[in-house]
Amino acid sequence: MVEGRTTVVIANDNYEERQRLMDQFDGMSEFALVGEARHGLEAVELVRSLRPDLLILDDVLPHLDGLGVLAQLEPGQRPNVLLLLSCASDRLVQHYYENGATYCLLRPCPPELVAERALLVSGHPASLQGGSAGRATPSPRTIAELLRRSGVPAHLQGYRFLKDAVQYVLSSNKSTCGMTKELYPHIARLHGTQPNRVERSIRHAIEVAWGRADINDLQRLFGATVHHVRGKPTNSEFVAMLADHLRGAVGS
């Protein structure tokens, strides 16, 4: 675990489905999302290298299907596996359980239901109603949508770091916080990395966003906070802009 959180790898070849699951698990206090796989071979590689506590595994994947992934993982290296089935029969479900699946869930299923079953599989007593999804602060999905509207690409590592940064600022009810002494170390602990990598990844994400975004769109989004003559904001300014915007959206 990372700081008492269940580490999670999500394996799904459908980008939109995978992103919805990532949005759901990102920011939940019980989980730390550490990897995403687009095919079965990548899922095996990530499990072996990252040793997550939980693998959310789609049964139909390129290169290696769900059953093949389970077969490639030795019992000692296999995490809890929440398997998402495209079709189900008693024989098929039993076969998956015999080969190492912890829990099988029939698709289609909303990300909230997957998260509920993940809490159950991981032994967390809190439900979504009593856990992180029930906070008064904006949801991880709302933060993710604002990041996308700001031009931050979802595939960048800095995108996930920014989501955690905004979530932290909002949940701590602070207008600002020390980036170097407080925020970067906090996010680094969540993701099992170094604070300087968090700082660089966030800075890169902002540079990419400012390079692709239309300044008029940003001014409509953030109002007078955006000043074209000053160029791109610092990491702390950008996090504060996002947090202030979301506080205004909740309060309105």
Calculate mean pLDDT across residues 13-24.
Answer: 90
**Alpha-carbon span 113 to 67, nearest angstrom:** 22
Pair of tokens at residue 157? 């590592």
Predicted local confidence at residue 177, as pLDDT: 66
Poorest-pLDDT segment among 13-17, 57-61, 71-75, 169-173: 169-173
Topology of domain 6-134 in CATH is: Rossmann fold (3.40.50)
DSSP string, 130-183: TSGGG-SSPPHHHHHHHHHHTT--TTSHHHHHHHHHHHHHHHTT-S---IIIII
Distance CA 237, CA 15 (A): 30
First vs last Cα of the chain: how many Å apart? 38
What is the torsional sign of CA 237, 240, 246, 247? negative
Task: Give the pLDDT confidence of 169-194 residue by residue, as tens digits.
Answer: 887 765 556 788 888 998 888 888 89
Under 8 Å between Cβ of 164 and 190:
yes
| Residues of each domain in the chain carrying CATH 1.10.10.10 | 140-251
Phi-psi category of residue 194: left, alpha or beta, with phi > 0 → left and psi -120 to 50 → alpha: beta
Contact 67, 99 (CB under 8 A): yes
Residue 204 has pLDDT above 90, yes or no: yes
pLDDT at 231 over 90: no
What pLDDT, on the 0 to 100 scale, is given for residue 228? 43
Peptide bond into 62 cis (omega under 30): no
User: Which pLDDT value is given to residue 198?
Assistant: 94
Ranges in the chain annotated CATH 3.40.50.2300:
6-134
The tokens for 196 are 């300087």
Could you read off the pLDDT of 22-47 as tens digits, one per residue?
A: 988 886 888 889 999 999 999 999 99
pLDDT at 39: 95
Peptide bond before 79: cis, by omega within 30 degrees of 0?
Answer: no
Q: Could you read off the pLDDT of 111-162 as tens digits, one per residue?
A: 888 988 898 888 876 444 434 444 445 677 788 888 888 888 888 889 989 9
Q: What is the CATH number of domain 140-251?
A: 1.10.10.10
What is the C-alpha to C-alpha distance for residues 42 and 63, in angstroms, rounded to an integer? 9
Structure tokens at 40: 């079965």
| 196 confidence band (pLDDT: 50, 70, 90) | very high
How far apart, in whole angstroms, are the C-alpha atoms of residue 55 and residue 8? 6
